[in-house]
Structure 1
Amino acid sequence: MIIHPHDLIWIDDKASLLTDVELPDWVIQHWQVSLPVVVRRDKLEAEFIPVGIRGCNRSQRLAAKIKQSHIVSVVTPESLVANMQVDDIHAPIKQSLYLLKQYPFSWTWGITGSCGYQLATGVNVLTNQSDLDLLIRCPTPAVMDQLVDLACFIKGLPCRIDVQVETPYGGFALSEWIRDKKVLLKTATGPVITNNPWLL
């Protein structure tokens, strides 16, 4: 099974969560296995997947890891685009998603962050101030003009959108690449500043 950062995974038992600290009260009281954990970008150990647990607010986040054998199901950011159910989503994000589906992407793209979580679970975590977080998978160097065109299109959408570009080595912010021609590439072993995120 191939697991990527930003995938949402469901596990079989709360006891499957392995952490360096005791589970905080908010996890014990509110988190349950009917909710997913999100795959983090971290150095992989054999058989283990680094994950994060989210609570009811932004301050409630916990890093953990699980064994692959405890995974029940996986939802990828891309699958959320293919099976998008936006009835209960705030209008600006809903309109933006509709327009994004019409855009001629040159890459596979998906929905992450709070919107991805809500689409996957039905739990209302979005607010009127929420951004829309997107991911595009770009395994080979992208043509700058294509990225600029995408950035210009996104600027005209009804909500604020943050796009992360995923390469074989990590992820970086689209806006940073266009502005600076170099980026802080988030890799499994830590951040790296580079002017070529497709070659390390």
Structure 2
Amino acid sequence: MVDPAALRRHDLVYLSPEAWRDQVASVVDEVADWADLGRPAILRQRVCADPDGVVPLGLPLPPGMGRKRLTLSCSPAAVARVASPPSLRDARSSAPAGWRPVIEALLGADPSWRCFGSLAWQHVTRLSYLTDASDLDLLITCVSHAEATRVAAALGGIAAWAPMRLDAELVSEGGNAVQWREWLSDAPHLLVKTRSGPALVAREALFP
């Protein structure tokens, strides 16, 4: 059984079809076959209305299904498996042709980077999430202040010519994340995303 405390932001959460029908589909009929098709939900931030011990889930639907953002939950026993967001290397096959030069440049900077958002959802579900206005959302783990600065500089060079907006989160080993443009600022305190919500964190405390 999964430990909810061990899950990280952006983790993909797969339920068995039986558990999905029992705990989710009865509430949201339009995605009744979601788990049967091998599609996940995503870990979301816990809110006050969530009972203790549940796994809080979110499910953004594609434009063709109304672009709704569903708020769901399940018991830990209902989780069949958990997966990290897809690597950018794997998801590039689902990207539009116009994105490929940018993705190749990003992979050239570091092939380990992961993605979330529309590209990730299009890749894992095979549904049409991407539009002309979509951002390319990246997750980049950084182990040090110096690495975060190097990564942000590389992103800035690529963003200067990319046809889409690059939206990257620099993630600490503890799971806290800061936007790469925020990191490039000279602010002594940064707006950081944590599992419990946004918080202002001293710059020197985010990465060692």
- TM tier, smaller: 0.7 to 0.9
Residue 192 (structure 1) shift: 1.0
* Distance (Å, rounded) in 1 between the aligned partners of 2:90 and 2:62: 25
Q: In 2 relative to 1, CA 95–65 (structure 1 residues): closer, same or farther, beyond 3 Å?
A: same
Secondary structure at 1:83 match in 2:
helix
Aligned partner of 2:202 in structure 1 is: 195
2:97 aligned to which of 91, 108, 113: 91
Matched, 1:73 2:81: yes
Residue 45 (structure 1) shift: 7.7
Secondary structure at 2:170 match in 1:
strand
Residue 152 (structure 1) shift: 2.1
Aligned partner of 2:68 in structure 1 is: 60
Q: In 2 relative to 1, CA 102–51 (structure 1 residues): closer, same or farther, beyond 3 Å?
A: same
Q: In 2 relative to 1, CA 42–150 (structure 1 residues): closer, same or farther, beyond 3 Å?
A: farther
Q: Which runs of 5+ in 1 are unaligned?
A: none
Residue 84 (structure 1) shift: 3.5
Secondary structure at 1:84 match in 2:
helix
* Distance (Å, rounded) in 1 between the aligned partners of 2:131 and 2:54: 33
Residue 73 (structure 1) shift: 3.4
Aligned partner of 2:180 in structure 1 is: 174
Q: State, as a whole percentage, how many aligned pairs show the same letter.
A: 22
Task: After superposition, give the CA deviation of every residue in 1:123-180 in whole Å (9 maximum; x if it has no partner).
Answer: 1110122110001112443445413422323313332110011221522211112124
Matched, 1:185 2:192: yes
* Distance (Å, rounded) in 2 between the aligned partners of 1:104 and 1:175: 18
* Distance (Å, rounded) in 2 between the aligned partners of 1:151 and 1:80: 17
Q: Which runs of 5+ in 2 are unaligned?
A: none
* Distance (Å, rounded) in 2 between the aligned partners of 1:60 and 1:149: 35
2:168 aligned to which of 159, 163, 175: 163
User: Structure 1-normalised TM-score?
Assistant: 0.78
Aligned residues: CA RMSD: 2.9
* Distance (Å, rounded) in 1 between the aligned partners of 2:52 and 2:144: 27
Given that 2:142 and 2:148 are in contact with CA atoms closer than 8 Å, whether structure 1 keeps it comes out as: no
Given that 2:59 and 2:69 are in contact with CA atoms closer than 8 Å, whether structure 1 keeps it comes out as: yes
* Distance (Å, rounded) in 2 between the aligned partners of 1:80 and 1:123: 18
